[in-house]
């Protein structure tokens, strides 16, 4: 049956595992559309424009915001990040769910937008702060100064857990993945997500009448 696409928001402090979980969810269900963010930060080694991010200069990014072409946007550590609106609306119209790997600020903007009723928001918590720092250092991508800034920001990010529909503590990535799948399947099965359900049930009733 026809179904309107969902907007699935995954948020967490940096290093808590949301990007890993997002990749696993995409591998489990290839029909999911991933919202590729736009950013003004430089590309890192191996990152591809249009796949990992849309890499824009500040002028181009701000022009998209001014034109209403960003579903959400925020400035983080001096760089702008945002979600282009057009691919998301196209996926929704086609009945495909869109997965967002964004911070709490972006999630808050989407939850307050005209698309709020189609949002499923999930916050990923680390099992401990020590584990969070260990994961950040294990990446080998950032300096001690950047890691310290990320840890400081994490405290504020974690304080927003109560704004989300679901919260998963990522003690074990396999278990966290299974929780994510369960949430997604349950949300898809909600009666108000299936606009053709009323007509389907009418068809069942007509079958009763012809028995």
Long-range contacts of range 69-74, CB-CB < 8 Å, 24 or more positions apart?
70/38, 71/109, 71/110, 71/113, 71/115, 72/102, 72/105, 72/106, 72/107, 72/109, 72/110, 72/113, 73/106, 73/109, 74/103, 74/105, 74/106, 74/109
Does the structure show a pLDDT above 70 at 140?
no
Whether the full predicted model's pTM is greater than 0.85, yes or no, is no
Instruction: Convert the pLDDT of each residue in 37-60 to its tens digit.
Output: 999 999 998 999 988 899 999 999
Ordered by start, the domain boundaries in the chain are 7-202
- Maximum mean pLDDT: which of 43-47, 53-57, 131-135, 144-148: 53-57
Does the structure show a pLDDT above 70 at 12?
yes
User: For 35-39, 63-67, 137-141, which range has the lowest pLDDT when averaged over its residues?
Assistant: 137-141
CATH architecture of 7-202: 3-Layer(aba) Sandwich (3.40)
* 61-80 average pLDDT score: 92
């Amino acid at each position: 049956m026809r179904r309107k696409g969902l907007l699935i928001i995954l948020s967490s402090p940096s290093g808590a595992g949301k990007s890993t979980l997002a990749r696993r969810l995409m591998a489990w269900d290839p029909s999911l559309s991933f919202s590729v963010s736009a950013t003004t930060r430089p590309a890192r080694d191996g990152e591809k424009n249009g796949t990992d991010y849309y890499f824009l200069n500040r002028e181009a990014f701000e022009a998209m915001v001014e034109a209403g072409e960003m579903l959400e946007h925020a400035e983080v550590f001096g760089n702008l990040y945002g979600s282009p609106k057009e691919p998301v609306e196209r996926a929704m119209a086609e009945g495909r769910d869109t997965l967002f790997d964004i911070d709490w600020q972006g999630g808050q903007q989407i939850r307050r937008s005209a698309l709020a009723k189609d949002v499923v928001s999930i916050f990923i918590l680390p099992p401990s702060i020590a584990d969070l720092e260990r994961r950040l250092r294990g990446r080998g991508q950032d300096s001690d100064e950047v890691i310290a800034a990320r840890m400081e920001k994490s405290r504020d990010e974690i304080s927003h857990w109560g704004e989300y529909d679901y919260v998963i503590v990522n003690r074990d990535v396999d278990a966290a993945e299974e929780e994510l799948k369960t949430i997604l399947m349950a949300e898809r099965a909600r009666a108000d997500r299936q606009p053709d359900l009323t007509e389907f049930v009418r068809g069942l009733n007509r079958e009763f009448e012809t028995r």
